[in-house]
Amino acid sequence: MGDLFWNKVAAAIIGLILMVMVIGVVGDIVFSEGDHGDEHAGLAYPIDLEAVLGGTAGGATIEEETIDLGTLLAAADASAGERIFRRCVSCHNAAPGAGNLQGPNMWGVVGRDIGAYPGFAYSSAMAEYPGDWTYEALDGFLANPRGYMSGTAMAFAGIRGDEDRADLLAYLQTLDDSQVPFPAPAPSEEEVVEDATLENVFTEEGAEASAAAIESIENIEDQMDALDDAAADGQVDDAEDNGN
């Protein structure tokens, strides 16, 4: 065994000792007993771990500009929505088989093909509009009908309040035999920060997530290899073509 080997062993031991010292010092600072029984007993400096780990300045809360529809719907109140629907009843029936008024019947509207209720004469704008009435589509349309769908014959200004529209959508959900589930709420800022902390790497979920990440990287590598192979084949073919 050469000298170099023992040098490395010595370096490793010194490194280890240094690390233990650093951890000890930091631990003392963070967790030292409050001598005078102050309100932060056991915590010399109240460090906002979430702020440190999440990289937010001094624990400042991040103001979200808009709340996603899934979150709004999870907190929505269908009976409040039924009251808002009073603004629609002059033009829309809501009971099954109740027929159309100036607008089409709203029974089963969630998930329904846009502009396709039997027996109603839609504007061409709505009749030709692609897709189904998802919660997102209804939310956009009801916020500003003419802005969302230019040329619609629905003479209604729209409902500006995000919560009010969510309540209304929760009521529309009830107008069906089998109710279309709400979209899932987006994870909150806090959940995202929590998921990203080091602790989670050691949990089962964290391990699964990193395994999935590694797998997807491997998939990408495989695809790159396949692409390389294909490109090489292509060149060979081209070469053959040129040869003919």
Which residues sit at the interface with ligand HEC, rule CB under 6 A?
87-88, 90-92, 102-104, 109, 114-115, 117, 122-123, 125-126, 133, 138, 142, 152-156, 159, 168
Identity of the residue, 54 or 154, whose beta carbon is nearer to ligand HEC in the bound complex: 154
Query: What six digits make up the tokens of 51?
Result: 């702020």
Measured CA to CA, the distance from residue 47 to residue 33 in angstroms comes to 15
Task: Please give the Cα distance from 72 to 75 (Å, whole number).
Answer: 5
Of residues 122 and 135, the one with the C-beta less far from ligand HEC: 122
Tally the residues of the chain.
244
User: Rounded distance, CA 28 to CA 9, Å?
Assistant: 29
Query: Shortest gap between Cβ of 31 and ligand HEC (angstroms)?
Result: 57
At its nearest, how many Å lie between ligand HEC and the CB of residue 207?
Answer: 45
Least separation in angstroms between residue 97's CB and ligand HEC is 15
Q: Is 233 exposed, middle or buried (0-12, 13-18, 19+ CB in 10 A)?
A: exposed
**Number of Cβ within a 10 Å radius of residue 181:** 10
Query: Which residue number, 156 or 194, has a Cβ lying nearer to ligand HEC?
Result: 156
Q: Residue 166 or 168: which CB sits closer to ligand HEC?
A: 168
Cα–Cα distance for residue pair 45/178, rounded to 1 Å: 55
Least separation in angstroms between CB 74 and ligand HEC: 20
Query: Whose Cβ is closer to ligand HEC: residue 132's or residue 189's?
Result: 132
Q: Which is nearer to ligand HEC, 54 or 126 (CB)?
A: 126
Q: How far is the CB of 112 from ligand HEC (least distance, A)?
A: 6
Smallest distance from the beta carbon of 88 to ligand HEC, in angstroms? 3
Which two three-digit tokens encode residue 74?
């999870």
C-alpha span between 94 and 222 (Å, rounded): 54
Residue 101 CB neighbours (<10 A)? 14
Place of tokens 């998939």: 219
